[in-house]
Chains A and B, each alone.
Chain A
């Protein structure tokens, strides 16, 4: 059984000390491709946080009330993916209807999230670390916020790099990977503070 971590602590831990992007390197493809502009990365980060929080809650219920009682853990990957896809679909429709402004700012990013591995990654962590319901929500929200923080920081840095002379061979993804490396190092500085396992 996992040590009982306070959900509040878990939020901070998953944002800073074990940031899903910078310590686990999940969700890298959209992290690199959507971080060219500060504004769109803000939208994408917001959408990831939103979806991650809700799907981790739903997947926890599915895991503990359907998958484990029926002893079909070997299918949990597929079921989680189906649940994520359906939740994203439903969310997209609801946001479109209830808040057109939010829909337009998240717009095209919402469907992209279905295939964002950070979501599935966080849910699988939730499974192997045996989080309880509150912890799952906290972890989902924290991971999403951590992802959001990381992509906004990266976008801000990249907008600055844009204006600076970068050696031709390093332009684009090259310099971005180096920057991500430094960011990961910086975030590692937090790791002694809280241990999440």
Chain B
């Protein structure tokens, strides 16, 4: 009886002693004291506790480097240029870095630890990024699979450029054991700094979109991190050609309302092509119509690729790229030059880039966010 118990008890005791030893040594050894993070050559200096990954340390100071995986080193989004020497690149970083980035000492901020004073470079816009506690104040089905969700930011305000996106933090639910973050373009007007509106389409099997469509309800509070992104209207006299499908409507809604409200870029003609399969995938027709009346230089071209007899559709038909091709040929004036703005599936974006470049629009003047 005794000998039967002694064995397991002793091995458990040894394990406990060793675990305790590891914890104590971890506390003693991984105490790096206070270190300074110098951002953009002295623009900003942070005094932080050393020993944690750079990504988490920065987040603790209210600077949110974009990260889709939350610091597990699986998305490669949290790239930061490090100026001081923090040792050679780790094998966990290399798959996400191009040879050029390795040369410039770009690092994954979730993989490198802050152990001593460190100099880094960050885009200025990140200082503007905050974590918001956002309460859902309304949810509306704009189509059978797209929800328009309006968040209220409480006492916080958000300053963003039309076209930027936020990361929605989805808590663990059902079989999803870990919190995930997904990027969504804001569809609200930038002048309304107390609200954020997102258009979220249900993706079959999608972790975040399923949660939004089945669990999220009015009154719930979620975390939003943002604003992020380089997608914005460029201040040129060139004619703006926008193409979107589905929830790709979001950034354009924000841009167009912003332009209409402040009468921005008064010389810019704006064409907006919006593609859907059938009438039931189409939305915001009345809103866009009202915008056209208010803003004479704005032209909205909705198109259905598979109009049903019941739809009684009188607008354009055909795949959006064909409609776009035809309009650039026949209707759009090219005197001021053209520039492209895209938001939608990667397939749609690639097809539109093909059509646009065929019409002489340069690739560096076709703008889009790649996170879709």
Mark A residues whose CB is within 8 Å of B. 62, 66-67, 70-72, 74-75, 78-79, 82-83, 86, 89-90, 93-94, 96-97, 100, 104, 107-108
Contacts and interface: CB of A to CB of B under 8 A. Distances in A.
A79 B87 contact: no
A90 B11 contact: no
B25 A94 contact: yes
A72 B12 CA distance: 13
A86 B30 contact: no
Contacts of A90: 21-22, 25
Name the 8 nearest CB pairs between A and B, nearest first: A86-B18, A72-B7, A97-B29, A75-B7, A93-B29, A89-B22, A104-B87, A79-B11
A78 B26 CA distance: 24
Interface in B1-48: 3, 6-8, 10-11, 14-15, 18-19, 21-22, 25-26, 29-30
Nearest to A89: B22
B10 A72 contact: yes
Given A93-B30, A94-B25, A108-B91, A86 B19 contact: yes
11 contacts: A70-B6, A70-B10, A72-B11, A75-B11, A79-B10, A82-B15, A89-B22, A93-B22, A93-B29, A100-B87, A107-B90
Contacts of B88: 104
Contacts of B26: 93
A178 B99 CA distance: 37
A166 to B, nearest CB: 27
Contacts of B14: 62, 66, 79, 82-83
Given A79-B10, A93-B29, A100-B87, 8 more contacts: A66-B14, A67-B10, A72-B11, A75-B7, A90-B25, A93-B26, A94-B25, A104-B87
Contacts of A71: 3, 6
A72 B11 CA distance: 9
A82 B18 contact: yes
A79 B7 CA distance: 10
A37 to B, nearest CB: 13
A74 B11 CA distance: 11
Nearest to B32: A97
B21 A86 contact: yes
A93 B25 contact: yes
Interface in B320-359: none
A74 B6 CA distance: 12
A66 B15 CA distance: 13
Contacts of A74: 7
A59 B89 CA distance: 35
Contacts of A79: 10-11, 14
Nearest to A85: B18
Contacts of B7: 70, 72, 74-75
Interface string B106-134: 00000000010000000000000000000
A90 B21 CA distance: 8
A97 B15 contact: no
B11 A82 contact: yes
Given A94-B25, A97-B29, A104-B88, A66 B18 contact: no
Interface string B56-91: 000000000000000000000000000000011011
A190 to B, nearest CB: 37
A180 B85 CA distance: 40
Nearest to A74: B7
A11 to B, nearest CB: 28
Nearest to A108: B91
Nearest to B86: A100
Tell me which of A70, A71, A83, A97 has the highest count of chain B C-beta atoms within 10 A of its own C-beta. Answer: A97
B10 A75 contact: yes
B7 to A, nearest CB: 4
A3 B88 CA distance: 49
A108 B22 CA distance: 19
A62 B19 CA distance: 16
Given A90-B25, A104-B87, A104-B88, A78 B30 contact: no
Contacts of B19: 86
